[in-house]
Amino acid sequence: MRIVVTGTSGGVGSAVAARARARDWEVIEVNRAQFLSTAALVEERDIGAVVFATGCCQVKSLLQTTDEAFAETIAVNCGYFLRLMRELVCGRRYDPSGMKVLAISSVSATEGWPGGAAYCASKGALSALCRALDAELSPKRITVRALEPRYIRTRMFSEGAMRMGVPANLAVSSDDFAAEVIGYLV
């Protein structure tokens, strides 16, 4: 299978890419710099799966959250996904027999926490976007799902866990979570 994985410089994306390669899947990595470019993100065709694991989390109080920081969080966590999907679907780069798409959202899509306004809003938007795209793209045999995991042990989680008031031992390893992701795609 040919799979697009984003966020491979982080814990979840790199773990998913490693597990996909272990299955002898062809992994096409899309990094953040590519999203900032006007060039095509993906040139390959017959994409059978996508895992969108790109994200950012700025933990800031309401008074510290600027319009620019809010817009950047929405752009990275939701807008990049929309661009990728538009490119894959409009460019007919998906496998005609079907494509499974997973966007890594968060429990923060439905649960708020102090300092998480931008992050929670972006993950809520990402989950809603997945529902809308799934309804729109199902006739093309494309399923789009948002996974809303509780806590995954990554650098981003570690940086924000204390501010969120979450004990680090509640998080699952990124490798264990990647196994779940791959299981869905099989």
Query: For 64-85, what is each residue's pLDDT tens digit?
Result: 999 999 999 999 999 999 999 9
Among candidates 55, 56, 46, which has minimal Cα distance to 4?
46
Q: Would you call 65 helix, strand, or coil by DSSP? A: coil
Calculate mean pLDDT across residues 55-70: 91
Look at the block and give the residue holding tokens 């590519």: 34
Which of 12-26, 53-67, 75-89, 118-132 has the weakest average pLDDT?
A: 53-67
Q: Return the pLDDT at 129.
A: 98
Rounded Cα distance, 154 and 67, in Å? 27
The residue among 19, 5, 65, 45 whose CA lies nearest residue 173 is: 19
Q: Which pLDDT value is given to residue 165?
A: 63
d(CA 8, CA 31): 7
- pLDDT-derived band at 182, boundaries 50, 70, 90: very high
Q: What percent of the chain has pLDDT over 70?
A: 88
Which pTM was predicted? 0.91
d(CA 165, CA 138): 39
With a cut of 80, say whether residue 169 has pLDDT above it.
Answer: no
pLDDT tens, position by position, 120-159 = 999 999 999 999 999 999 999 999 999 988 776 666 666 5
Q: What's the pLDDT score for residue 156?
A: 62
Work out whether the CA dihedral 92, 143, 117, 154 comes out positive or negative: negative
Q: DSSP assignment of 83-110, as one string?
A: HHHHHHHHTT-B-TT-EEEEEE--GGGT
Domains defined for the chain, CATH in brackets: 2-185 (3.40.50.720)
- The predicted structure's pLDDT at residue 161: 59
